[in-house]
Chains A and B, each alone.
Chain A
Amino acid sequence: MRIEQHLRQIFGFNTFRPGQQETIESILNGEHTLSMLPTGTGKSLCYQLPAYLLPGAVIVVSPLLSLMQDQVEQLKMKGEKRVIALNSFLHFKEKTAALAQLHRYKFIFLSPEMLQFPHVLQALRSLSISLFVVDEAHCISQWGYDFRPDYRLLGQVRKQLGSPLTLALTATATKKVRKDILEKLQLTNVTEWVFSVNRPNIAIKVEQLSDSIEKQERLKELVSFFHKPGIIYFSGRKAAEEGSWQLKKAGITRTAFYHGGMNTEERLLIQHQFLNGELDVVCATSAFGMGINKQNVRFVIHYQMPSQLESYLQEIGRAGRDGKPSIAVLLYVPGDEKLHEFIAEAEFPDEGQIRQISEHKIALRDVQPPLTEIQERFVAHYMKEAKQNNEQPAAFISQVRTDLLQEKADKRMAMKEWIVSKTCRRAAYMRHFDEKNLPLKQPQCCDQCGLDLNQFKNRSQAKQVNGRPNWRQVLSELLPEK
């Protein structure tokens, strides 16, 4: 019973969500655990709660800086002070100070790059580590959505830390990927909790349109019609800005855009405005959503198809965290998949760039045209791997590139097949994750099984955006007189 008491006292919840209790209990029994819980069901609770029952520190490896910061912020808002994030954005001085004080922290968040530094590992080794958490564990697998080369070294790191009790968390991993996760982490005797990726409260609709003008019109129609708040995903920064502008022109004034090209402060503000209910709609790229804990998102629209079903599920999973009916709509114009072909190509260095590095020994920074950050990390990682395997670097890296591109092309195909298929959308995505049981019949399932859009209609009065009061009023509202 004591874990339920903690749930109430620290986290203020009365009941667990599916999968949380099972995961927590198996950790407390000292079993290595891999948990696959559907997106939006509170994965972080699975390590946060045990942390309070275990004597030592909890190390959390997280792939994205912003995700890490969101989690740190959420813990701090719960009143937890013993939390720190170690990442490359810390200044040297701060890092040294933090490392010297590491024993004072209960939660230590790290990016995988940080674990490559000997002095960081050294500092971690001096701690008593109760739990080693790999968040978004699918990043470790080449076959997984959002593969991060640095994640592949986590198995080695884990050993160097004395093979502590380990929890791997993911929302989207096929059987193949799950097997890969365990292998790469060098884990045996693992308790696996695999829950259905199905989110019954999210209705699914795919709409095929003939061209982009029609799509634009349909977007305005849908967004005006739907109960808000909602998120619209676009495949690029420009498209997201343009979309938000179009919607505002159509009278949906409480709309903003969000993408990786904005600076940190601005992104944070949009996030806070959305969380505080000051925005109805965010037009975003995939950079938006991870780690954002908003319960009442009522719709997610994809203005372009995502590059794979895994991303699709992650993104629609941001709707309906409160368990209430929500809807996901994907707008598709034949040929939309082409865009992802270009995006995928651009993620990797081309043959010329690879040769400059491996044959002409040009420093990564001086390659022409210059490498993006992701490309640079890719090359650096596989140069090392080629050396370790005694492979000729150029050929080795080219081969990896070809394999990964093929993998992406396959995933793109699967996504497209899902879009054009004429069977139950829910059953189809569950099959993709090797689930044997079919979903129960439900009234608001998908456009194939039947679905009533009116259920998602906006019933409340549109919020009026009043002109701001004059500055004296604004100021005395912000800083009241006693």
Chain B
Amino acid sequence: MSCLEAVLLLMLKKVEGERTSSAVFHLLKGKKSAQTIQDAHLYKLTKWFQTAPFLTMSSFEQLLANLLGSSYLTGDVQRPYVTEKGLDEMNKKFEQTSVFPFLSGWQLSGTAPLFFSRLQLLVQVISHFSYGEKVYYPVTRDEALQVWVKKYLKQFSALKENFSSSLQKELIFVFEKQQENPECFLIRCSGHGQTAKTIAQAAEALDIEQTEYWFRFLHIQHAMIKIILESPSELPLLYKVLSDIYVSVPLTESARQTAELLQKGMTLKQVAALRRLKTATVEDHVIELALNDPLFSIRPFIEEKKEQAVKRVISPGTNRQLKPIKDQLPDHSYFEIRLVLAKESRENS
């Protein structure tokens, strides 16, 4: 079983009976819709958010068809159920890889690619510089990245010859604090005497299956980012690579704009009118805020009494489909119910 298949089974298991398989597809792709973002939190699948952006609907359906064919799934492509056999195989796979404890798709999928691209170019520039090599092919043609590296290096110009050893020490510090083989990362670096490998080449060189390499590679990046954020004073060079791209509360751009207007004291309707959005869309933004921002209060949108009423209905372990809850609470709007669910799911995670 491939690593991606195991991840799929894990996710399908959590939503089975309540969501169709396409909910899992959107989660893996990182679709920035209210529904997908809420699902990620509701089903505690945030770590997998946007961790397989390379999927297409047809490759996803092919994967499901294969899993159905091997009886790891039963039912159909739209509404599959994970079998005992599927769970066994999945657990075997995760025993070998772990369930990637540092992985945080929702939090870091926006940050990690830029972090990697910056570090990859930085390592190359420093590497060739240390060996006195002036002529080489830059690993990226992205001019914005090249400009960034130049500015970055200027800040640390006092370090000069020592930059290489300092960066080496910081990387060792980070690599030793996490569980993946640092080769997963280093094999993707260019510099003196080596050109970075592509994902397929890296998997082959490390003799692991391609999707497993992919998740290990993501995992080591996310782990590195977390370690760097925890120890900025020990890791000044790496922290500076990260500090201006990391945001502690990940939000879609649109939700961020809504948040700013709400903070100025506007009502939902006023925000909707000003931004020429439907009220329902602005409500989605509020749900997104409730899911992600620990300082966000839902009180302006629902009274305490009504919140308690919802909490009584959604005792742990119940179905998280809205309709059955709404049937028991005819005086509540769907928006109010979703708000409470959102708050609960953030507090529990």
Choose one: A73, A266, A278; the contact of B199 (CB below 8 Å).
A266
Q: Does A268 contact B (CB under 8 A)?
A: yes
Choose one: A262, A266, A470, A475; the contact of B168 (CB below 8 Å).
A475
Q: B205 → chain A, closest Cβ, in Å?
A: 7
Contact B165 A468 (CB under 8 A): no
Q: Does A100 contact B (CB under 8 A)?
A: no
A256 to B197, CA, bound (A): 10
> Which parts of B156-179 form the interface with A (CB within 8 Å)?
161-162, 164-165, 167-168, 171-172, 175
Q: Is the interface on chain A under 10, 10 to 19, 20 to 34, or 35 or more residues?
A: 20 to 34
- How many Cβ-Cβ contacts under 8 Å join chain A to chain B? 94
Contact B141 A479 (CB under 8 A): no
Contact B187 A478 (CB under 8 A): no
Contact A77 B127 (CB under 8 A): no
Q: Is the interface on chain B under 10, 10 to 19, 20 to 34, or 35 or more residues?
A: 35 or more
Contact B171 A479 (CB under 8 A): yes
A412 to B212, CA, bound (A): 44
A287 to B245, CA, bound (A): 35
Q: Choose, from B99-107, B129-137, B288-296, the stretch at the interface.
A: B129-137
Q: A178 → chain B, closest Cβ, in Å?
A: 33
Q: A209 → chain B, closest Cβ, in Å?
A: 29
> Which parts of A305-354 form the interface with B (CB within 8 Å)?
none
**Contact residues in A for B143 (Cβ distance below 8 Å):** 94
Contact B195 A476 (CB under 8 A): no
Given A272-B137, A468-B187, A480-B164, verify A475-B171 contact (CB < 8 Å): yes
Given A77-B135, A480-B131, A481-B165, verify A475-B195 contact (CB < 8 Å): no
A476 to B198, CA, bound (A): 21
Choose one: B139, B164, B192; the contact of A482 (CB below 8 Å).
B164
Q: B71 → chain A, closest Cβ, in Å?
A: 29
Contact B181 A471 (CB under 8 A): yes
Contact B182 A471 (CB under 8 A): yes
Q: Does A290 contact B (CB under 8 A)?
A: no
Q: Does B203 contact A (CB under 8 A)?
A: no
Contact A276 B181 (CB under 8 A): no
Q: Does A273 contact B (CB under 8 A)?
A: yes
Q: A264 → chain B, closest Cβ, in Å?
A: 8
Contact A479 B127 (CB under 8 A): yes
Q: Does B149 contact A (CB under 8 A)?
A: no
Contact B183 A478 (CB under 8 A): no
Contact B123 A478 (CB under 8 A): yes
**Contact residues in A for B130 (Cβ distance below 8 Å):** 479-480, 482
Contact A268 B139 (CB under 8 A): yes
Given A269-B195, A273-B195, A468-B183, verify A481-B168 contact (CB < 8 Å): yes
Contact B164 A477 (CB under 8 A): no
Choose one: A69, A266, A278, A475; the contact of B182 (CB below 8 Å).
A475
Choose one: A256, A270, A470, A478; the contact of B194 (CB below 8 Å).
A478
**Contact residues in A for B171 (Cβ distance below 8 Å):** 475, 479
Q: Does B80 contact A (CB under 8 A)?
A: no
Choose one: B165, B175, B198; the contact of A479 (CB below 8 Å).
B165
A270 to B199, CA, bound (A): 11
Q: Does A359 contact B (CB under 8 A)?
A: no
Contact B196 A478 (CB under 8 A): no
> Which parts of B114-150 form the interface with A (CB within 8 Å)?
123, 126-127, 130-131, 135-141, 143
**Contact residues in B for A480 (Cβ distance below 8 Å):** 130-131, 164-165, 168, 192
Q: Does B11 contact A (CB under 8 A)?
A: no
Q: Does B30 contact A (CB under 8 A)?
A: no
> Which among B138, B162, B167, B198 has the greatest number of chain A C-beta atoms within 10 A?
B198
> Which parts of A151-209 form the interface with B (CB within 8 Å)?
none
> Which among B162, B164, B172, B195 has the greatest number of chain A C-beta atoms within 10 A?
B195
Contact B141 A268 (CB under 8 A): yes
Q: Does B38 contact A (CB under 8 A)?
A: no
Given A94-B143, A269-B195, A468-B187, verify A479-B137 contact (CB < 8 Å): no
**Contact residues in A for B138 (Cβ distance below 8 Å):** 73
**Contact residues in B for A470 (Cβ distance below 8 Å):** 183
Contact A476 B140 (CB under 8 A): no
Choose one: B131, B162, B183, B201; the contact of A474 (CB below 8 Å).
B183
Q: Does A275 contact B (CB under 8 A)?
A: yes
**Contact residues in B for A479 (Cβ distance below 8 Å):** 123, 126-127, 130, 164-165, 167-168, 171, 191
A478 to B131, CA, bound (A): 9
Q: Does A366 contact B (CB under 8 A)?
A: no
**Contact residues in B for A436 (Cβ distance below 8 Å):** none
**Identity of the chain B residue whose Cβ is nearest the Cβ of A275 in the assembled complex:** B137
Contact A476 B168 (CB under 8 A): yes
Q: Does A365 contact B (CB under 8 A)?
A: no
**Contact residues in B for A264 (Cβ distance below 8 Å):** 141
> Which parts of A444-482 form the interface with B (CB within 8 Å)?
468, 470-472, 474-482
A276 to B128, CA, bound (A): 14
**Contact residues in B for A69 (Cβ distance below 8 Å):** 141
Contact B137 A73 (CB under 8 A): yes
**Identity of the chain B residue whose Cβ is nearest the Cβ of A84 in the assembled complex:** B143
A474 to B187, CA, bound (A): 9
Q: Does B189 contact A (CB under 8 A)?
A: yes
Q: Does B322 contact A (CB under 8 A)?
A: no
Contact B126 A471 (CB under 8 A): no
Contact B140 A265 (CB under 8 A): yes
Q: A79 → chain B, closest Cβ, in Å?
A: 9
Q: Does B313 contact A (CB under 8 A)?
A: no
A234 to B171, CA, bound (A): 42
A276 to B189, CA, bound (A): 14
Q: A186 → chain B, closest Cβ, in Å?
A: 34
Contact B131 A475 (CB under 8 A): no
Q: A107 → chain B, closest Cβ, in Å?
A: 15
Contact B183 A471 (CB under 8 A): yes
> Which among A69, A264, A268, A275 has the greatest number of chain B C-beta atoms within 10 A?
A268
Q: A252 → chain B, closest Cβ, in Å?
A: 14
Q: Does B265 contact A (CB under 8 A)?
A: no
- Give per-residue flags for A66-81: 1 if the beta carbon is below 8 A from chain B beta carbons, else 0: 0001000100010000
**Contact residues in B for A478 (Cβ distance below 8 Å):** 123, 127, 186, 189, 191-194
A474 to B167, CA, bound (A): 14
Q: A128 → chain B, closest Cβ, in Å?
A: 25
A272 to B205, CA, bound (A): 18
A-B contact list, 27 entries, CB within 8 Å: A73-B141, A256-B198, A268-B139, A268-B140, A269-B195, A269-B197, A271-B137, A272-B137, A272-B190, A273-B195, A276-B137, A278-B194, A468-B205, A470-B183, A471-B183, A474-B183, A474-B186, A475-B171, A475-B182, A478-B127, A478-B189, A478-B193, A479-B126, A479-B171, A480-B130, A480-B165, A482-B130
With A268-B139, A271-B137, A470-B183 known, 15 other A-B pairs at CB within 8 A are A69-B141, A73-B137, A73-B141, A77-B135, A94-B143, A256-B198, A264-B141, A269-B139, A272-B139, A468-B205, A472-B172, A478-B191, A479-B123, A479-B191, A480-B130
